[in-house]
Structure 1
Amino acid sequence: MRKMNMARCLGILLFSVMSLWLGMSQQTHRVQAVQVGNIPVDVKAVFPENQNGMVTGYFDFEIASGQSNNLTLEFTNTADKEQTLTVEPVVGGTTYQGELNYEPTDRKADSSLKLPFTDLTSKKQTVTLAGKETKQVTFPVQIPQTTVNGIVLGSLYVSSEQANKEALKARSKKRMKVINTYALYFGVVLRVNDWESAKPDFRLNRVVPKLINNDPGVGVDLQNFEPAMIKDKALSIKARVTQKGSTKTIKHYNMKASFAPNSTLSYPITWGGDRITAGNYTVHMDLKTSDKTWHLKRNFTITGEQAEKLNQANQPKKNYMWLWILIGILAILLIIIFVIYMYKRGRQTGRQSVQNQPQNRGSRKKKH
């Protein structure tokens, strides 16, 4: 009897483990559907067999030279009306705020990038869904014969051109400065060949005088020229500007950043409300991760013409609030004077009408 009970317990335990394993296996191959803005279409990723089992929010898998794989998205139209969406492959990059960027941009691919994600898969696709229809869209990935070891970062960017056109139309009618566009993306991380051997490395390129939030400053092009990624704001950046040949800090700016492989961050250093002056300068930058430190510097020049242009753009706008307040006070006074005048005039007119009324007195007859 004890042997039978023990066998039964082992069987139940084995069944539970198998069920849990199967459930986890299914979860690693699909992600919960998400909606594209306020558009009635749900989208979910269908992960390949070699998907990193620890990742469920985006595509992440290893792939070698000459190999291929598929990136598949499943669309479900939850409405009765036909819906049309576009899916566009995008090269991953780094924003000036130190964030990983998965959205389309007008910037050219980084000069150090040897395997752009957009060169490894098909072009933009359009998917049209009838009411309540479900459809899959696949982007094949093909890695060429290459000696590159490292990470390729990108995304599949889903948007509705029709919804965005309607938003632009509504903005023009209501004269709004800001509009809502509706889109989402699924990140793609391709770990190519011996990807772990690639480590991030940095250099300073050009320094460009520019307006930063309408204040004069410079954008320092900090480039990660290796196919390695830094996530979770794990890069500490400390930057300062001095006059060339001096150690006195004029301006400084510190940031925690993530960094895409083979990308450039236009690092912002602003003069704030101060005027920027022409001269020769040096930018000093200290970078640090958990296992490496970089000390970089680059000389640059701000011409008199550039300084004048930036300072003129930063001129404070004339504030006419006092004039509007004065006009408001005068308007209120005029209204008060007009009301008093009309009130007095009304009373005077009333008195005159009473005085001009005929006085009728009744006569009483005496009885004899």
Structure 2
Amino acid sequence: MKKYLTVLLTLMASILLAFTVNQKTTLAATTTGGVNYSISPELPDNQAAKNIGYYDLKLTPGQKETIKFKINNTDGKNHTYKVSINRAATDINGVIDYNDHGVQPDSDLQYDIEKLVTYPKEVAVAPKSSKEVSIDLTAPKGDITGELLGGIFVQENNQINNDEKLPKGVTLRNQYNYVLGLQIQTNTNPVKPDVKLVKAFETDNNGQISVDAKLDNDVPTLEKQVSVDAKVTPRNGSKVLLKSYKEKMPMAPNSYFDYPTNVNSVTGPSKNKRLKPGKYTMYVDVKANNGQNHWNLKRNFTVTNKEIAKINHKNPNRSMDLWIILGVILALLIAAGFVIKRYRKNRK
């Protein structure tokens, strides 16, 4: 009898432990290694704005210009560096981002800064020395209304050494890069701001489920001091299911901005929250340029069973775990009672 009870109790403990382990959040530490290189701009004489650390060029249509910067290798070894000119984008946090090449622009982009430049894609720099890098730029033959905004992205190759032993508890390895801003104009004529709501959709990002409003700044000008007040309701209903507000954000010229309204939290009591399949409406109130421009936008969207299944596959819904545990415990207790009853009956 004692043997049976021991087996049952061990099984119960194993099941409870399995559920506990599955619900733990994996924490990752990062390395804090130093950076052994830097970059420095050599600003040209025709720089429009002085005393700044990036390129602000006023050009004439068709003008050719060469801009230069230095990569400074402070290490005792030879290194190579990746160089790219990237068009400005707006990331999910409402921050201007220059890190990715070939990001999808909005459909009204007339001139792509990435296609107006030629430059070396890789540069080698000897130990304890600097190397000058030249970028040849040709302004469009047509007049640029507004500005073209991009960044000169520089990153050391082979920063990560997978053979290097990490300190105990460290699971991530950092990579570092530098970006020099690059803005091109041919005139300073004002551009009328315009922001559109292209679509609304449910998505997930590293465990954070959200309904994103794909906003489109479809003119070649940087929208400043942008605030977004978003809410989600059932379609043809007034009850607010989700809401979000954020302010003091920029939007890059001719770029999309996926503004998130969170459905769940990564941890805590609402981490397993989900939208039910159905039809919804997202309302977005956008203000820009210190409130001088204002848009009230609206877009219907649908959440399907297929979309929810895809999200749940990446981020399992653990809300039923407690009931499963209680059910298993109840089943084990019933089994234990049956074993005890049978044992007593056989002893008589």
Q: TM-score range by the shorter chain?
A: 0.7 to 0.9
Aligned to 1:214: 207
Question: Do the aligned partners of 2:87 and 2:102 also contact (CA within 8 Å) in 1?
Answer: no
Aligned to 1:305: 306
Task: Give the 3-state SS of the residue equivalent to 1:305 in structure 2.
Answer: helix
1:196: Cα distance to partner?
Answer: 3.6
User: Quick one: which amino acid aligns to residue 208 of structure 1?
Assistant: F
May I ask how many residue pairs the two structures share in their alignment? 279
Aligned to 1:47: 43
1:248: Cα distance to partner?
Answer: 2.2
Aligned to 1:178: 172
Aligned to 1:96: 92
Distance 1:39 1:275 in 2: 42
Task: Give the 3-state SS of the residue equivalent to 2:172 in structure 1.
Answer: coil
Q: What whole-Å deviation, never above 9, does each CA across 1:273-320 have from its counterpart, x for those lacking one?
A: 32211111111111112211111111111113323443563412869x
Question: Counterparts in 2 of 1:200-279, with a 5 A limit?
Answer: 200-231=193-224, 234-256=225-247, 257-272=249-264, 273=270, 274-279=273-278
Q: CA RMSD in A?
A: 2.7
Aligned to 2:336: none
Aligned to 1:292: 293
Matched, 1:151 2:147: yes
Task: Give the 3-state SS of the residue equivalent to 1:249 in structure 2.
Answer: coil
Question: Counterparts in 2 of 1:1-368, with a 5 A limit?
Answer: 38-104=34-100, 107-164=103-160, 166=161, 168-170=162-164, 177-191=171-185, 193-231=186-224, 234-256=225-247, 257-272=249-264, 273=270, 274-289=273-288, 290=290, 291-311=292-312, 313-316=315-318
* TM-aligned CA distance change 1:176 to 1:40, over 3 Å: closer
* TM-aligned CA distance change 1:121 to 1:106, over 3 Å: closer
Task: Give the 3-state SS of the residue equivalent to 1:310 in structure 2.
Answer: helix
Question: Do the aligned partners of 2:84 and 2:101 also contact (CA within 8 Å) in 1?
Answer: no
* TM-aligned CA distance change 1:135 to 1:214, over 3 Å: closer
Q: Which runs of 5+ in 2 are unaligned?
A: 1-32, 265-269, 326-348
The percent of aligned pairs where both chains have the same amino acid is 26
* TM-aligned CA distance change 1:149 to 1:316, over 3 Å: same
Q: TM-score, normalised by structure 2?
A: 0.72
User: Quick one: which amino acid aligns to residue 298 of structure 1?
Assistant: R
1:106: Cα distance to partner?
Answer: 6.7
Distance 2:76 2:307 in 1: 57
Question: Do the aligned partners of 2:87 and 2:103 also contact (CA within 8 Å) in 1?
Answer: no
Q: Which runs of 5+ in 1 are unaligned?
A: 1-36, 323-368
Higher RCO, 1 vs 2 (CA within 8 Å, ≥6 residues apart)? 2
The answer to which of 89-98 and 60-69 deviates more is: 60-69
Which structure is larger by alpha-carbon Rg, 1 or 2?
Answer: 1
